[in-house]
């Protein structure tokens, strides 16, 4: 599964970790995150993320 990076603050969403602060379980692909999910570091919306090459 791909990691995605926040273009605002550099936070990396790692699907193997998920986002426990927002109740996102490990193993959740970025694509399956809810539309209203935001960067846990800076609050940027999903469309501000890019796939990590």
Partner 1 sequence: MGGDLKPREIRPGISWMGAIDWDRRLFDELIPLPDGTSYNAYLVRGSEKTALIDTADPTKREEILGQLDGVERLDVLIVLHVEQDHSGSVPLVLDRYPEIEIVSSPKAVPMIADHLGIPEGRITAVEDGETLSLGDRTLEFIHAPWVHWPETMLAYLREEKILFTCDLFGSHLATNDLFAFDRPRVCEAAKRYFAEIMMPFSNLIEGHLEKLEPYEITMICPSHGPIHDDPDFIVDAYRHWVLDPPKNLVVLPYTSMHGSTARMVDHLIGALTERDVRVEPFNMSVTDLGAYAVRLVDAATVVFATPTVLVGPHPHIVSTAYLTAALRPKLKHAAIVGSYGWAGKAAERLRGLCSTLKVDWLDPVFTKGLPKEETFEALDALADGIAARHEGLESQ
Residue 4: its H or E element: strand 4-6
Closest distance to partner 1 from the beta carbon of 15 (Å): 14
Taking 3-state DSSP, the helix, strand and coil percentages for the chain, each rounded to the nearest 5, stand at 15, 25, 60
Interaction between residue 47 and partner 1 (CB under 8 A): no
Q: Total residues at the site for partner 1 (CB under 8 A)?
A: 11
Interaction between residue 53 and partner 1 (CB under 8 A): yes
Q: Report yes or no: 27 and 16 within 8 Å, Cβ to Cβ.
A: yes
Interaction between residue 5 and partner 1 (CB under 8 A): yes
Interaction between residue 1 and partner 1 (CB under 8 A): no
């Amino acid at each position: 599964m791909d990691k995605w990076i926040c273009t605002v603050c550099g936070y990396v969403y790692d699907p193997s970790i998920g986002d426990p602060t927002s109740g996102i379980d490990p193993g959740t692909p970025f694509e399956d995150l809810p539309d209203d999910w935001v960067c846990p570091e800076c609050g940027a919306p999903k469309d501000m993320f890019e796939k990590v090459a």
